[in-house]
Structure 1
């Protein structure tokens, strides 16, 4: 049954995949996203932080400006794209994947295939990320159509200079509907999960935290993560684990002399656990690929890069178990918003060059730092 609200918007839990146990995801109905009332805005905010991922159907006519405004509901001071100039760095692993809409630079275009014209962009070729460009070992060519992997579990964040965005929004403009794929973990566990081809998948950082032992919860609450400077350039020569959850340590990261100039004050050291501003719950919220060091409560470092990665992997891996993975089965007109400070997400799947897929993505660097475990709950309903 839908929850009662103070406006026409109703909140409906999404049907779950058989055998799954994830608790995230809801559909919001009867929302006019081009013209929201204050009550509508409150309902959307509350629904997002209680469900982590919310979806509005049939939003084909939503303009980039309206997408920007809806995304800004969660941080009215934020105005600039969440990755800043990271996108423009030629060596960044993000560079080939996104195009900026000229008249709304906070909104990016992602997808696959050649697009003659879209939102002021002309003759663009979009590239759906494929795990063979990022993973150390890959699925064979003959198995690639029926099978896939998590490309890269991540948080949308520059992780250098800028604060992680509060939320990210995605609008499915054009979606080639095809068969399901088997998503393989390929980590000797035998784990796999069926996902719609090209699904964006999510896991809850709150569940990831709840699964920890009491000892590990204490460690996570007290430990901080220092991220590499210019992380998407730093990791450009390295390769990912087969689960997409962090990198293999082979000494292939770039050293400081190979990176753009580094300002020490812009290096990000963030809590391992981030607090939900509405429910107060803690999420184990770490971008595993960009981790460089772990900093203990007393300020000392935990080992080196390899040890830091192994610790983070041990803490996070239970939280991406097949039953905990929420895959969106995209349909054209679907508009999703997710709590970028409470979930991890990943691209999946592969598309042929002639299969055209178009999405619009929006997030903004936050105006406020992350809330750690020691911080009080802030009510986002209060202005």
Structure 2
């Protein structure tokens, strides 16, 4: 990490049996007046630790949060990675359908997200009560309501914050916790036949490391991943708008409900994203198996740079290929839910981890957060082990 840092970093506390190797807590940093040196050091810390909790930012103004993400990547276009609020509402598909997102007045690239009543006047947003469908409704096989009311829940949808069309994924996402319930405890169930479950406070965000996913792959799997790439659908979240997720939140059920390209309307072929399967951390050199399977339309598989790729364009076959690789890390001992207190900011490297929301009964209390990120100036196509061919037939 940069020697200019004037803050302290310590690992997130681990429980017995925890096998995660990422996540840290940062103290002694005031984001309201952060120096250029500390911005660089903080970015290095996020790349290095992948998920960080920056303590004590209770009075941070929304514009200061946006200013920070622009300073992380000063060459990036000055807009949220998913575009403005109107664009997100029109093109967000399954993302915008599942939640109500509002830009903070005067800082519209900072989004208010949460659950329940947000107060009489929240930074100029008057009397907003966020009523949305349950996050668990994304799953094909629904969690019984009586279980949910009893504090049983699931991971919603494992993902990276990335439009996967036109704009590049944000290097980092920042999420300021303003209010959340801390009790009673909830139980996350996988409900996928594994029997896995884990307990946690409500209102937190879950993470798995795709660096650990890569480390758990066999040598042959890594050789393929190192040389292969993914083509994502145009307007991918509209493409899967009618699809449903698996109960553990990783991947989609094989229903055949993806929209046709004609149904997506106008799109620009040059905005379709083709990314390597493996993304390289620019600070640590670590490799992550970073494939957003729910949006993948074609895979190009090969084990060397000279080999002709085998093309998979059947989405069920794509997901069947990815499922056993990605589910190896989806076990309680590899999942973290960093404890964040009101005023803390959670920051993570989208090029290294997957994350997901975890719903809870509204009776536990409201949740209020400010989220922002910025579409990167340098994307995954330039952070892999090879340059993806421009024309992929």
Where on the TM-score scale, by shorter chain, does this alignment land: which range? over 0.9
- 3-state secondary structure, aligned to 2:317: helix
Task: Give CA deviations for 1:85-137 in whole Å, capped at 9, x if unaligned.
Answer: 55221772222332112311221110001333222222333246634320010
Residue 299 of structure 1 and its aligned partner are, at CA, apart by 4.5
Q: How far apart in 1 are the matches of 2:61 and 2:16?
A: 35
Residue 355 of structure 1 and its aligned partner are, at CA, apart by 2.6
Give the corresponding residue for 1:338.
348
Give the corresponding residue for 2:192.
187
Give the corresponding residue for 1:356.
366
Contact 2:278/2:290 (<8 A) preserved: yes
Counterparts of 1:1-383 in structure 2, within 5 Å, are 6-78=4-76, 79-84=78-83, 86-89=87-90, 92-95=93-96, 96-115=99-118, 116-127=120-131, 130-144=134-148, 145-297=150-302, 298-352=308-362, 355-370=365-380, 371-374=382-385
With normalisation by structure 2, the TM-score equals: 0.90
- 3-state secondary structure, aligned to 1:229: coil
Task: Give CA deviations for 1:260-314 in whole Å, capped at 9, x if unaligned.
Answer: 3121111111111111010111001122221222123435412511000111112
With normalisation by structure 1, the TM-score equals: 0.92
Unpaired runs of 5+ in structure 2?
A: 303-307, 388-393
Contact 1:29/1:56 (<8 A) preserved: yes
Q: How far apart in 2 are the matches of 1:7 and 1:152?
A: 35
- 3-state secondary structure, aligned to 1:166: strand
Q: How far apart in 2 are the matches of 1:375 and 1:127?
A: 45
Q: How far apart in 1 are the matches of 2:241 and 2:180?
A: 29
Over the aligned positions, Cα root-mean-square deviation in angstroms equals: 2.1
Q: How far apart in 2 are the matches of 1:130 and 1:17?
A: 29
Q: How far apart in 2 are the matches of 1:336 and 1:73?
A: 17
Residue 139 of structure 1 and its aligned partner are, at CA, apart by 1.6
Residue 45 of structure 1 and its aligned partner are, at CA, apart by 1.8
Q: How many residues align?
A: 374
Q: How far apart in 2 are the matches of 1:314 and 1:230?
A: 26
Q: How far apart in 2 are the matches of 1:217 and 1:262?
A: 33
Q: How far apart in 1 are the matches of 2:91 and 2:131?
A: 15
Query: 157-166 or 171-180, which moves further after superposition?
Result: 171-180
Contact 1:175/1:330 (<8 A) preserved: no
Contact 1:203/1:325 (<8 A) preserved: yes
Unpaired runs of 5+ in structure 1?
A: 377-383
